[in-house]
Amino acid sequence: MIRTERLSKVTGRRTVLSEITFAVEKGDAVSLAGPPGSGKSTLLRILATLTQATSGRVEIAGIDVTTRPFDARKKVFLSGGVGLGCHDMKVLEYLRLIAATRALDRRGRAADVAPLIARVGLDAARNVATLSESEQRLLAMAASMASRAEVLLFNEPFAGLDMPAIECCTALMSEARARGAAIVASVDVDAPPSPIWNRQIHLETVGA
Amino acid sequence: MGAIVLRELRVIGRRGALSAAMCVHVALLTGYLLAWGNGNGMPVAGALTVYDQTLMVDVILLAILLPWIAARCVAAERGDDLVMLSMVTAIPPSRVVVARALAATASLILVIASGLPTLILAGRISAVRMSLVAEYELALFSLAFVSSATALTWRHVCHSRVIGWFAAALSTAAVVSAARMAPSLVIAPVLTAAALCAMGLLALRADVSLRYLAERSE
């Protein structure tokens, strides 16, 4: 599902990622661990086609993200740490938009997102701009599930959430993994271990 | 694509500015007709018929209102937010821009059409054929394309909505002046084609400039 080869990212004079090579298969759940500044968020953004790598190669579901970023974007969904992309929408409308643009069934109908909203405990009529940080994180989690993308990326998915919310997110991620999605999530070095991960990739700070 | 157009229309419809602008448009146009509809005509344009004068006022009103509606009502996302919208919906930025342009144009056509009853009334007063009134109304629709194209272009160029509106209003006014106030059926297709080309260029540019998040936001 994900293949990177000697992936590097240099921002200004700073080398954020240096020659990263790894692969994530269908149904894998990989945690990206590492100290702050080790490039976890940058790596997720490169995988999500939101940032261009300086050198190296990245494939998402067999699609080269450098040459075909918009095709790769159909296969991947990143939530957390990058905003929601919309300001003028209600929770229900936001999730319906994602389902309608990404997850149509064979008859061209979007999946029903109401049960997802109920599971994450959000008010469907709330404007997304008025949500708190943790509510936005839950909405992003619901959005990634509504997208039914083959590769799900999460930037610190449990940060700032209480225990019931963490359990809810873990259950949703497990379901996505069970349907074959590959999951990669950045986690804080101090985060408690979670049973969902079957592999860990540890990033170290590269330095200048 | 349909879902994103619907989303853009919903955002525009939710803002009060659209209905407010329609009310202002209808009120001022009707007010003008009531004040000068007795056949005397506006002092500075006395040689024109009531219909011609009303049409001229309509064009001036639209040149001011349409860019304002386009600048005020379209969804707020730009820059990195548009990149994110493209990511969450898996729709290329060019299509998001096209959807936005379509939604803005459709809304502006609604505003232009709101003045039609007054223009029909003015046409009856001046004994103008209904087909001619309809022809000019169709020609006025080209202003919707011009206004949405200029407003969206300026929106991508400058951060401030107010500056974007001023720039779009000036651009639209320049186009209206060049079209000698009321665009005829001859000029209207040219204006529409030019606006569609501008929208197309904007969309193509979006796929390059809005492909990735800005480096500063990392």
For B121-140, the DSSP string reads: HHHHHTT--HHHHHHHHHHH
Q: Is B218 on the interface with A (CB under 8 A)?
A: yes
Domain boundaries of chain A, sorted by first residue: 1-75+154-160+183-208
pLDDT in tens, B111-161: 999 999 999 999 998 899 999 999 888 888 988 998 898 888 887 777 777
Helix axis angle for A91-102 and B80-89, nearest 10°, is 60
Question: In sequence order, what are the residues at sequence separation of 6 or more whose Cβ sits closer than 8 angstroms to the Cβ of residue B213?
Answer: A45, A50, A51, A82, B80, B83, B84
- pLDDT at residue B40 in the model: 63
A36, burial (CB in 10 Å: exposed 0-12, middle 13-18, buried 19+): exposed
Nearest beta carbon to residue B89 from set A50, A83, A97: A97
Backbone angles phi, psi at A60, to 5 degrees: -115, 120
pLDDT-derived band at B212, boundaries 50, 70, 90? confident
CATH topology of domain A1-75+154-160+183-208: Rossmann fold (3.40.50)
Minimum Cα–Cα distance from A89: chain B residue: B11
> pTM here?
0.85
- pLDDT at residue B218 in the model: 46
Task: Count Cα neighbours of B27 within 13 Å in the Cβ-side half-sphere.
Answer: 7
pLDDT in tens, B67-104: 888 888 877 777 888 889 899 999 999 999 999 999 99
pLDDT in tens, chain A (208 residues): 899 999 999 988 888 888 899 999 999 999 998 888 888 999 999 999 999 999 999 999 999 998 898 999 999 999 876 677 777 889 999 999 998 888 676 666 667 888 899 999 999 999 988 988 889 999 999 999 998 899 999 998 888 888 899 999 999 999 999 999 999 999 877 777 778 888 888 888 876 5
Q: Is A90 on the interface with B (CB under 8 A)?
A: no
Question: In sequence order, what are the residues at sequence separation of 6 or more whose Cβ sits closer than 8 angstroms to the Cβ of residue B95?
Answer: B1, B4, B203
- pLDDT at residue A30 in the model: 93
A 92-131 residues inside an 8 A Cβ radius of B: 93, 96-98, 100-102, 110
Nearest beta carbon to residue B90 from set A74, A83, A96: A74
Q: Which residues of B touch A88 (CB under 8 A)?
A: 11, 14, 75-76
ipTM > 0.90 for the complex: no
Are B207 and A50 in contact (CB < 8 Å)? Answer: no
Q: Which residues of A touch B82 (CB under 8 A)?
A: 85
Q: Which residues of B touch A143 (CB under 8 A)?
A: 88
Minimum Cα–Cα distance from A73: chain B residue: B90
For residue B189, CA distances in Å to B87, B143, B179, B192 come to 35, 10, 12, 5
